[in-house]
Structure formats: C-alpha cells, structure tokens
Amino acid sequence: MEKSPRQRKHASLQSVESSAQLGVPHRLHFQQYQDLLSYNELPEWYQDNPFIHVGYRPVSNSTRKCFASLLYLHNESVNIYSHLIPAIAFLVSQWCLYQYLQVWYPSTSLDDQIIFAFFLLTASICLGLSATYHTLASHSHDTCNRWLQLDFIGIVILTLGDFISGIHMIFYCEPDLKLVYWGMIATLSLISVMILLNPKFQGPTWRTFRVGAFIATRLSGIAPLVHGVRIFGFGQMAQFGMPFYLIEGLLLIIGAAVYTVCLFVYPLFRKPAMLTHYKTRVPESLNPGKFDIFGSSHQIFHVLVVLATITQFVGILGAFDYNHHHRMCELA
C-alpha cells in the first residue's frame, strides 16, 4: 500500500535525520518533531543555509506558533536561547550593578551611572532583538525580513553602547575628545542603519556586504585607541581597559568571519571544483548535516557575541575602578 504524502515526508525526514547524524541521543523525544521540515521542503525565501539539512519549523503565519516553538527543540533553539537568556541577565544586572555601585562606590557620578545603564541596555536590546528574530523567522517572508533588519540594527546598537562606554572611560577627563569620538561612532552607526534598511542590500546575496559594514564600523574603534596610546601610553591605556576592548573586537570579528568570510585553508586540500562548497559557514560547510541542531556557525557567532559583550563589561568596570581611585579631572 502506497504511503500518504505526510507519511512519506515523515519517513524521509527520519532518514535524513539518521544520515545527518545530528549528534542528539536517540532516546531524546522532540515534541512536534514530526512537524519539522528538511531544507528541500522549505520555500525559497526560507532556504538560507544548505548545510543545515533538517530541523526547520514550517512557515506558520502565526506569532503564537512561533513562540510556542520555544517549548520544543529545532535548529533555531540554540540561536534563540543563547541570546534570550543573556538579554534577560543583562537587563537584571542593571539593578544589581546599581546596588553594587551604591555600596562600593558611593560617590559614583551620574555620568558614570548613565554610561553603565546605557551599555547594559544596548546589550539587552541587541540580544533581545536577535532572540526575537530567530523566534519569528518561521512566521512569514515579510516578518522574517523585518525582524532580520531589526536584528542587524541591534548589532549596531550594541556597537554604539560599546564605543560610548569605552570612549567615556578612556577620555574620562577630556570631554572635547570624548564628544568628537562619540560623534564619529554615532555617524558611522547611522550610516550602517541606513545600509541595513535599504531594500537594495537585503537578502543572502548582500550578506557579506552587510557584515562587512558591521566589521568596518567596529574597526573604526582603532582610532580612539591609537589616539589614547599617543596621549597616555600603553601602560595607562591598559588601566583604561584597552586589552578588554581589543579582545572584544577580536571575538566579534572572528564570529563574523566564521559565519561569512571565505575559508581558504581547508579547500587547498580539496579538489578545486569543490572550492565553492567550502567557502562559508564553518563548521557545517565542512560536514553538512552534522551540525543541524548543535554547533553551527551562527550558534558559534552568538556565543562569541555574548562573550565579547561580557569582556567589554569587565573592561569598563576595571577602567571605572581605576578612574574612580586614580584620576582627578580638573574643573573647567
């Protein structure tokens, strides 16, 4: 007796799941797993990563169903929770940090309190927008595109928070320089947002360009660091958090590179004709189907973003402590 289309789809999905070796123990039960799709069953607009074979939620046109997917495992689960949990944590840390400053730094200025609050808020917004995008990506084409734009804007917002806080700590007693560099990053952030919102630069074709704009904006942070070294020297800049700012930038650039930039080393040992199959999305492009649920490039990028944000936070805390105890600004 011939199987029904739904039975064939389910059997096919089970076969793909087995061959892809998801790395998930067989005894685990995936709620509603029978409703998840393989890559070839997706509409064209939803086909973003051919190296991820299975675990896709069907297009639902339902916000309720999208948020219901928080309760079962699929190939966006790690992307969602890797940013949702830190977003909540950074939001809660606003109150915790305020209490900490009141106890250990009772003379903290209003400017410093605003800087800390602004940084933590931008971190929460960025991670929250990211988690929401990955939750609603299966809603519809329009909703997916709208939230993808907001996801990228969230990255720009976090960049703004990073720069504002770091520049404040470096040029703690140089308000004119502080305003100049704040103006620079505000202008570059605005340009990045304009690029992200321009319909011409949407879609997978322009992914590298969008990430390139993001990386270029991040690299502009070298300017205030070099300027700071010229004024204060390396030793003093280390007290102002420069090593942490550099590590944070490196983590973000590595994450973007893993997700987008071409991989050149591995293909050298492959046939030239296979080069195009190994140019992006490491590690899943090296072993398609192996990282469908856990360990994909975008998940690695998410983890690196969180680690970078924590690194920045530790850096500005250390710089604040040094400024609080060792820098006395002359009154104009």
- Domain extents for the chain? 69-326
Whether the predicted pLDDT of 11 surpasses 80: no
208 CB contacts (<8 Å, ≥6 apart)?
A: 260, 261
Query: Which region holds residue 280: left if phi is over 0, alpha if psi is between -120 and 50, else beta?
Result: beta
Whether the predicted pLDDT of 169 surpasses 70: yes
Per residue, the 3-state secondary structure of 60-80, as one string, reads CCCHHHHHHHHHCCCCCHHHH
Whether the predicted pLDDT of 217 surpasses 90: no
45 CB contacts (<8 Å, ≥6 apart)?
A: 141, 144
Instruction: Find the range with the poorest average confidence among 18-22, 55-59, 189-193, 294-298.
Output: 18-22
Per-residue pLDDT at 279:
54
Instruction: Find the range with the poorest average confidence among 17-31, 80-94, 149-163, 258-272.
Output: 17-31
**Binding-site residue positions for Zn(2+):** 134, 298, 302
pLDDT band at 212 (very low <50, low <70, confident <90, very high): confident
Mean pLDDT over each residue of the chain, to the nearest integer: 84
Q: What's the CATH number for 69-326?
A: 1.20.1070
pLDDT band at 214 (very low <50, low <70, confident <90, very high): confident
Instruction: Find the range with the poorest average confidence among 61-65, 146-150, 227-231.
Output: 146-150
124 CB contacts (<8 Å, ≥6 apart)?
A: 87, 88, 90, 91
Whether the predicted pLDDT of 261 surpasses 60: no
Instruction: Find the range with the poorest average confidence among 52-56, 81-85, 249-253, 317-321.
Output: 249-253
Q: Where are the beta strands (DSSP E) in 242-291?
A: none
Mean pLDDT, residues 245-269: 67
Per-residue pLDDT at 331:
61
pLDDT band at 15 (very low <50, low <70, confident <90, very high): very low
Burial class (CB in 10 A: 0-12, 13-18, 19+), 56: buried
The per-residue pLDDT for range 96-105, each reduced to its tens digit, is 999 999 999 9
- Comparing 48 with 113, the larger pLDDT belongs to 113
**Binding-site residue positions:** 134, 298, 302
Tokens of 199: 């319909």
What pTM value is reported for the model? Answer: 0.83
Whether the predicted pLDDT of 12 surpasses 70: no
Whether the predicted pLDDT of 42 surpasses 90: yes
Q: How much of the chain exceeds pLDDT 70, in percent?
A: 80
